[in-house]
Amino acid sequence: MSTRYCVMSTGAPVLHPSVLNIMNNDVFYSFEDAYNVLVECRDIIPESKAVLDLVDQRMHPSESGKFPVIVIEGLDATGKTTLTESLKKTVNAALLKSPPQSLAPLRPRFDCEPPLIRRAFYALGNYITAGQIARESSKTPVIVDRYWHSTAAYAIATAVGGGVGNLPASGSEVYRWPEDLLRPSLVLLLTVNPEERQRRLRGRGLDQTREESELEVNHLFRKKVEEAYKRIEDPACVIVDASPTPDKVLQQVLLLMKNKCHL
């Protein structure tokens, strides 16, 4: 007796299969979930202990101080460093970054690890920075170079295979802000077109051939990161066209800060 099978067409699944494991494998939504990953790693990655020690010493803020907290986000070479340095001088602000300086020597070690461990490292970096934000924002306005949006957007874009169409739809749970992480007053996403980004990367001295081949390979990835940035909610980011001159970008951002944070 032979069995006969037939092939039938069916509707597309609601979620791309690569999306199913993002929560708590690529993106962590609480301090405890990220912390427990590094606790489990202590024996195989001795540097985990150093990260946990720094995390244990952090402040536990529930909210920021009375001054506004402005986060600057964007792809590499969109002008974050240039803008944050100018903002620091212009509004007399404290300048912080995530991951914080204290984690810089440990970063290369975790960048070589699989996503679960690497993402837990960056997630904990945000909690250390949150402690610094709480302290500084009781004294002055605070500017933060990358924070939660970067952690989530890069992780989601890496985890999701294929193109932008495979990203979870806007409103999906994967884009929600962790309940226990200090929320900034304003998040600005710097965007520039790919040609201008390429010029800026070149200006920064990257070898042109390598840089161009990387851009080619990473074209899809960069589109996914930018789209994921835009879908993260509460706080959502305000998009800033960062193509004009540094001074014009600064003026545009100062105006936004005045309107949205009364600064």
Ligand X SMILES: Nc1ncnc2c1ncn2[C@@H]1O[C@H](COP(=O)(O)OP(=O)(O)O)[C@@H](O)[C@H]1O
Ligand Y SMILES: Nc1ccn([C@H]2C[C@H](O)[C@@H](COP(=O)(O)OP(=O)(O)O)O2)c(=O)n1
* Binds 100: which of ligand X, ligand Y, none (CB < 5-8 Å by kind): none
Cβ contact 189:232 at 8 Å: no
Is 149 a binder of ligand X (CB under 6 A)?
Answer: no
* Complex with ligand Y: residue 200 or 260, whichever CB lies closer: 200
Binding to ligand X by residue 27, rule CB under 6 A? no
Rule CB under 6 A: say whether 204 interacts with ligand X.
yes
Contact flag: residue 200 with ligand X (CB under 6 A): yes
Shortest Å, Cβ 145 to ligand Y? 7
Partner in contact with 154, chosen from ligand Y, ligand X, none, beta carbon below 5 to 8 Å by kind: ligand Y
The answer to whether 156 and 167 are in contact (CB under 8 A) is yes
Nearer to ligand X, 77 or 152 (CB): 77
Task: Return the number of the residue (58 or 146) whose C-beta is nearest ligand Y.
Answer: 146
Q: Cα separations (Å) of 156 from 223, 228, 259?
A: 12, 7, 31
**Using CA atoms, how far apart are residues 77 and 195, in angstroms rounded to an integer?**
12
Q: Which does 150 bind (CB under 5 to 8 A by kind): ligand Y, ligand X, none?
A: ligand Y
33 burial (CB, 10 Å; 0-12 / 13-18 / 19+) is middle
Per CB under 6 A, 195 contacts ligand X: no
Instruction: Choose the contact partner of 151 out of ligand Y, ligand X, none; CB within 5 to 8 A by kind.
Output: ligand Y
Cβ of 5: how many Cβ atoms within 10 Å? Answer: 5
Q: Per CB under 6 A, does 82 bind ligand X?
A: yes
Of 47-55, 71-79, 121-129, 209-217, which part binds ligand X (CB under 6 A)? Answer: 71-79
Residue 11 vs 203, nearer CB to ligand X: 203
The binding site for ligand Y (CB under 6 A) comprises 76, 80, 98-99, 122, 125-126, 146-147, 150-151, 154
Closest to 259 (Cα-Cα) out of 127, 100, 106, 70: 70
Q: How far is CA 110 from CA 38, 96, 103, 107, 144, in A?
A: 11, 21, 10, 5, 22
Question: Number of residues in contact with ligand X, rule: CB under 6 A?
Answer: 15
C-beta of 134 vs 187, nearer to ligand X = 187
Residue 146's binding partner among ligand X, ligand Y, none (Cβ under 5 to 8 angstroms by kind) is ligand Y
Contact 206, 228 (CB under 8 A): no
d(CA 183, CA 187): 10
What the block records as the tokens of 218 is 């990473």
Q: Which stretch binds ligand X (CB under 6 A): 90-98, 116-124, 164-172, 238-246?
A: 238-246
| 251 contacts ligand X (rule: CB under 6 A) | no
Cβ pair 35, 55 in contact under 8 A: yes
Could you tell me if 257 and 186 are in contact, meaning their C-beta atoms sit under 8 angstroms apart?
yes
Binding site for ligand X (CB under 6 A): 74, 76-82, 200, 203-204, 242, 245-246, 249
